[in-house]
Structure 1
Amino acid sequence: MWSNVGLCIAAALLVTYITHWIIKHWSNPKCKNGVVLPPGSMGLPFIGETLSLIIPSYSLDLHPFIKTRIQRYGTIFRTSVAGRPVVVSADPEFNNYVVAQEGRLVEIYYMDTFSKIFKQEGDDETRTTSTGAVHRYIRGITLTHFGSEKLKQTLLPQMQESVDKTLTAWSTQPSVEVKYAASVMFLNFSAKKMFSYDADTSPVDLGGRYSRIINGLMSFPLNIPGTAYHTCLKDQEKVTNMLREVVKDRRNSPERNQSDLLGQMVNDMDKEEFLSDDFIVHLVFGSLFASFESVSAVVALALHLLSHHPSALQELTAEHHEILSRKSRENPSSSLTWDEYKSMTFTLQVINETLRLGNVAPGLLRRALKDIEVQEKGFTIPAGWTIMVANSALQLNPDNFENPTEFNPWRWKDLEQYVVAKNFKPFGGGTRQCAGAEYSRVFLCTFFHVLLTKYMWTKIKGGPISRNPVLGFGKGIHIKFSQQ
């Protein structure tokens, strides 16, 4: 009997000790020199508040994980995700400050699952996320091949031809799950411009593999056969092995093709020390990933929203038919011009409104390189902590956008520029603002132009749309396309 009593006392003391440790060291971590942390909760040991974060919310509104904590703690709060301390900021002034401090107070950061997929280990001279000369080179070469000048000269008519070919194929099918189909369309076009990928002859189905990769990244990171994450890693390996062979063949070719992005990088390997085979492979892999997911989500969400807002669809359609009827056009069926793209005022409003409502990710991730004092708030973010710049919270804030969950493209006519500059950053900000932002907008405008002037479409079924906290489409948005 006394031994059982002793065991009960020991168990009670152990529970008391663990509870005390959790409260003292985990729930309320202490910092050196009396540093005060942002308000918030660290959740459970090791797990943190991860489970609350990944619970789906079937609304376009801000995910409840972020929304309820802003209401409870303010616009900057601390939490823990997958055992890592994170500070979430929905404060526009602080967010602008953070993105401007790239390479000084913060660096770009990926959670562990993303780091493994995108191979962001290594020193600053070999990572594709590096700052300084490496970042300037990456940004420069991206703008050379996908920036405004290239769009004006060659890419715009090529986009139109590719979209038309794709929509013709879609119109022969009973229905199309449009997010997946749009991701394949955009990925194949971008890959062709990056390294002359030919979807019809390549043994690797990039669209299918990238779709499985994104699904795996949003799953629990358990690397055992049969799990989505294990499949994700296998697909990543297949794609990078294919890219490695492409780089090897290009380097060994007596006549190097320099017309695409890969050709220029291979040619530059003699003068840029950081341009190794691995660097090029992971840069191309990451660039394709960054582009295809956001564009396909906008296409799917926009078609879903337009199907429920006929007045917006009517004005959008009228804008594109007006372009065809302009006297400046020698031939109504000729390719779009740069001036015509720039004149698509309402189309760009629709795209902006869709991006505002449907930011794929809840925010941008940075890691503090030094302690960051937030003097006006009276607390400090310790070095090594992750900072999530929650742009989605700003874009869905009723103080910035009236009736924020309402699809209202017309709101963009009256928005003050300073409101947009501070609170609308779908393509990031600072030195890390996406170099392919204009490229993505042009592709989207071209897609809507071809669709609305040459095809008809009807939404068959779709949804439910969710956040967990990234944007999800349930079983997909299914649409029937036909030629006019």
Structure 2
Amino acid sequence: GPLSPVAYKKKKVFRTSLFGAKVIISTDHEVNMEMAKSSTQLGATESLRRLFGENSDFLQRKEIDKYVRNLTSRFVGPENLKTNLIQDMYVLSRNYFEMDDKAISSSFDIKEAATKMVVDLIVKKVIGEMEYEAIRELGLCWTAFRTNWFSFSYSVPGTTVYRFVKARSKVTKLLKSVIQKKNASKEGLGDFLDILFDEMKKDGAALDIDRAVNLIFTFFILSQETTHGILAATVKLVADHPDVMEELKREHDAVIENQGDNQASLTWEEYTSMTFTHMVIKETLRFTSAQPTVHRIPTEDARVGGWLIILCCIIICYSSHLTIPYKHKHEHILCFFSVRSFRLFALRNYSGLYISLYFFLRLLSFLEV
């Protein structure tokens, strides 16, 4: 069978039905590593394809995935983060909480606030200036995109997934109309849209209007789904550790004091100087995950522990520090420990999320959690 005896005994690997398809779910580190090394393709179920669209780059082969990542890295990568995004996030976070007195004086919904901030930033940076009615329509559609996508069949009217599919159809039509108008006028472009239009001009370009619409739609969804949950987890972790909160306040107060009356912007030097804040962010990212599962279909048979994982079956790998076997027991390995010494690999892929966490911690340092 496809399951190793040890993994099966400990229920680390098991068969089930998920998203309307038969799948194998693995929390076994050995199996997950073998899937990462072997030749695999993205294992999208029919329901996922229905949600994101059959031609979505999110569901395509590795070559397209690499191409899309290279495109998006020009928008949310370290260079643009340093020159543009850091200032935009700084201004947005200040304005948002200055306008929202309720957030300062009482409780508020972390996930809802984070979603609004992310959407506000992405609409401006990705698409650019939009008519009020288009922004309003787009905002209404985003309310359908929440986490419980796979609760029921997508063909049953009134269910979460059914609303998602209908909203996706509406959003893609709206985005296509906006992008076509901007492509014709070349006015009010967002940073990301500017990158996409430049890419379309190249000879033999793999990008066209439909693919650009699909890419922007996926970018919106993944930005919402990966950010607000992690920000909410950050609040919980910091609130449970008053000593961490106290040190955050001390570090951010010191920066503000050094700024004096010049608090309209944040320099890169000030951002990088807050070493404790960055430790907290890295530790938060160790505890949470922007991509908790990886869906794969082996393109060839893979042997793990003497057992065979056959090709063409969908495998959902769940990778977490909780599932990694450590040779030595660490007292704090399962505890939030902000001054832990470790290296965060591939941080460049999370630069947008990283900067969001940074400004959220900055805001928390001024609020009572």
TM-score bucket (shorter structure): 0.7 to 0.9
TM-score by length of 1: 0.66
Matched, 1:386 2:323: no
Distance 1:90 1:205 in 2: 40
Once the two structures are superposed, residues 93-150 of structure 1 have per-residue CA deviations (whole angstroms, 9 ceiling, x without a partner) of 553453355xxx111233333221111x35xxx7444446533432222122221111
Once the two structures are superposed, residues 406-443 of structure 1 have per-residue CA deviations (whole angstroms, 9 ceiling, x without a partner) of 33323x23x4x4xx65xxxxxxxxxxx79651121012
The aligned runs of 1:72-151 (5 Å cut-off) are 72-73=9-10, 75=12, 77-82=13-18, 84-92=21-29, 94-101=31-38, 105-119=39-53, 121-122=54-55, 127-131=57-61, 134-151=64-81
The aligned runs of 1:18-33 (5 Å cut-off) are none
Tell whether the 8 Å contact from 2:35 to 2:298 is kept in structure 1 after alignment: no
Partner of 1:298: 230
Distance 1:435 1:232 in 2: 30
Mark the runs of 5 or more structure 2 residues left unpaired by the alignment: none
| TM-aligned CA deviation for residue 161 of structure 1 | 0.2
Tell whether the 8 Å contact from 1:269 to 1:275 is kept in structure 2 after alignment: yes
Instruction: Compare CA radii of gyration and give the structure with the larger one.
Output: 1
Once the two structures are superposed, residues 371-418 of structure 1 have per-residue CA deviations (whole angstroms, 9 ceiling, x without a partner) of 2222xx0112111112222113x34658476455533323x23x4x4x
Tell whether the 8 Å contact from 1:188 to 1:199 is kept in structure 2 after alignment: no
| TM-aligned CA deviation for residue 168 of structure 1 | 1.6
| TM-aligned CA deviation for residue 170 of structure 1 | 2.6
Once the two structures are superposed, residues 252-278 of structure 1 have per-residue CA deviations (whole angstroms, 9 ceiling, x without a partner) of 22x355652123323432434432222
Distance 1:333 1:273 in 2: 43
| CA spacing shift, 1:259–1:228, aligned 2, 3 Å | closer
Structure 2 residue aligned with 1:186, among 113, 118, 139?
118
Tell whether the 8 Å contact from 2:149 to 2:161 is kept in structure 1 after alignment: yes
Letter in 1 for 2:336: F
Distance 2:35 2:209 in 1: 32
Structure 2 residue aligned with 1:438, among 351, 354, 362?
351
Tell whether the 8 Å contact from 1:398 to 1:404 is kept in structure 2 after alignment: no
Higher relative contact order by CA 8 Å / sep ≥ 6: 1 or 2?
2
Distance 2:334 2:353 in 1: 24
How many matched pairs?
A: 363
Distance 1:225 1:137 in 2: 36
| CA spacing shift, 1:292–1:273, aligned 2, 3 Å | same
Partner of 1:317: 249
Partner of 2:88: 158
Distance 1:353 1:199 in 2: 41
Distance 1:154 1:382 in 2: 47
CA RMSD of aligned residues (A): 3.1
Distance 1:267 1:192 in 2: 18
Letter in 2 for 1:409: S
Distance 1:96 1:437 in 2: 21
Letter in 1 for 2:42: I
Distance 2:291 2:179 in 1: 31
Tell whether the 8 Å contact from 1:269 to 1:276 is kept in structure 2 after alignment: yes
| TM-aligned CA deviation for residue 323 of structure 1 | 2.3
Tell whether the 8 Å contact from 1:39 to 1:78 is kept in structure 2 after alignment: no
| TM-aligned CA deviation for residue 182 of structure 1 | 0.7
Tell whether the 8 Å contact from 2:129 to 2:188 is kept in structure 1 after alignment: no
Distance 1:72 1:209 in 2: 45
Letter in 1 for 2:21: R
Provide the secondary structure at the position in 2 that maps to 1:217. Answer: coil
Distance 1:361 1:133 in 2: 19
Letter in 2 for 1:79: R
Tell whether the 8 Å contact from 2:127 to 2:192 is kept in structure 1 after alignment: yes
Tell whether the 8 Å contact from 1:369 to 1:384 is kept in structure 2 after alignment: yes
Letter in 1 for 2:356: F
| CA spacing shift, 1:209–1:137, aligned 2, 3 Å | same
| CA spacing shift, 1:147–1:244, aligned 2, 3 Å | same
Once the two structures are superposed, residues 14-48 of structure 1 have per-residue CA deviations (whole angstroms, 9 ceiling, x without a partner) of xxxxxxxxxxxxxxxxxxxxxx42148xxxxxxxx
Partner of 1:262: 193
| CA spacing shift, 1:171–1:292, aligned 2, 3 Å | same
